[in-house]
């Protein structure tokens, strides 16, 4: 029996499979892995992006919101508790900064956004509630990796994709950055995932008020800005709210 001809839908699924296998691939990489011409691959990626099946960040593509909606991150009592306890602090951070603010936790090697608040003029950002992004190039991700040795080691051994010119792609450079975050109790995203998107983040702990050295962070709070100069103003606000959030997590046992 003659095989049916390959359809555009078949090719679109080929592109999705290739995209799913990587942590962020360029058009050339996807074209090569899928065995398709660049023009065909671009046309398919454009259609998939239009339907939220893939997301483009700079020159790289990864799976988009539609895929996360079809296969959502499993519900977790721990996630629900974190969201319940910390959302009021996220709201307070928003009121204090009027910036786009995030509440996130770690899920494997990625951050999962548990909540997000933004004003009437939000900064374009790939983050979405329930969605995931690489931990090593986000403020919230680095804030948590600095206090999770096992996750940091795992991430440093994987591919560190250069999403922008400022992304940390060296395990040694990442280790130095995480050590500095442990010292200062806050992290900075210097447009490392998305050009023109900066943020400052701080870890949230669950077992003592101060987040003693070696304590594992269970979440992180962040505030975003469109330029690095704004981070100086945001830094003390984010760290202060995160410290109060840690005290709330430590005392909540419901």
Proportion of the chain above pLDDT 70, given as a percent: 91
The rounded Cα 155 to chain-centroid distance in angstroms is 13
Burial class (CB in 10 A: 0-12, 13-18, 19+), 65: middle
Q: Give the highest mean pLDDT range of 59-73, 81-95, 119-133.
A: 81-95
Task: Please state, in angstroms and rounded to a whole number, the distance separating the CA atoms of residues 128 and 165.
Answer: 23
Return mean pLDDT, the chain.
88
Span 13-59, pLDDT tens digits:
888 888 887 778 889 999 999 999 999 999 999 999 888 888 888 88
Q: What is the pTM of this model?
A: 0.80
Task: Please state, in angstroms and rounded to a whole number, the distance separating the CA atoms of residues 198 and 193.
Answer: 9
Task: Compute the average pLDDT of residues 137-152.
Answer: 96
Contact criterion met (CB below 8 Å) for 245 and 204? yes
Which range among 64-73, 118-127, 158-167, 200-209 shows the weakest confidence by mean pLDDT?
64-73
What pLDDT does 212 receive?
45
CA angle, 143 as apex, 139 and 148 as ends, to 5°?
140
Span 167-217, pLDDT tens digits:
999 999 999 999 999 999 999 999 999 999 999 999 999 875 444 444 789
């Amino acid at each position: 029996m003659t095989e049916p001809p390959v359809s555009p839908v078949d090719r679109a699924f080929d592109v999705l499979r290739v995209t799913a296998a990587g942590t962020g691939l360029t058009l050339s990489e996807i074209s090569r892995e899928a065995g398709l011409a660049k023009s065909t691959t671009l046309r398919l990626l454009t259609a998939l992006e239009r339907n939220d099946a893939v997301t483009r960040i700079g020159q790289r593509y990864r799976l988009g919101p539609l895929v996360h909606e079809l296969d959502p991150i499993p519900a977790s009592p721990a996630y629900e508790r974190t969201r319940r306890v910390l959302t009021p602090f996220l709201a307070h951070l928003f009121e204090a900064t009027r910036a786009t603010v995030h509440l996130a936790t770690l899920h494997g090697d990625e951050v999962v956004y548990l909540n997000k608040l933004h004003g009437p003029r939000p900064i374009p950002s790939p983050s979405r509630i329930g969605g995931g992004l690489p931990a090593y190039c986000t403020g919230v991700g680095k804030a948590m990796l600095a206090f999770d040795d096992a996750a940091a080691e795992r991430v440093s051994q994987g591919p560190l994709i250069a999403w922008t010119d400022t992304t940390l792609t060296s395990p040694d450079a990442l280790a130095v950055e995480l050590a500095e975050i442990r010292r200062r109790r806050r992290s900075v995203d210097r447009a490392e995932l998305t050009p023109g998107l900066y943020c400052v983040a701080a870890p949230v702990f669950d077992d003592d008020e101060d987040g003693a050295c070696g304590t594992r962070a269970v979440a992180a709070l962040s505030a975003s800005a469109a330029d690095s100069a704004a981070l100086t103003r945001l830094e003390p606000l984010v760290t202060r709210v995160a410290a109060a959030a840690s005290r709330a997590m430590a005392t909540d046992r419901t």
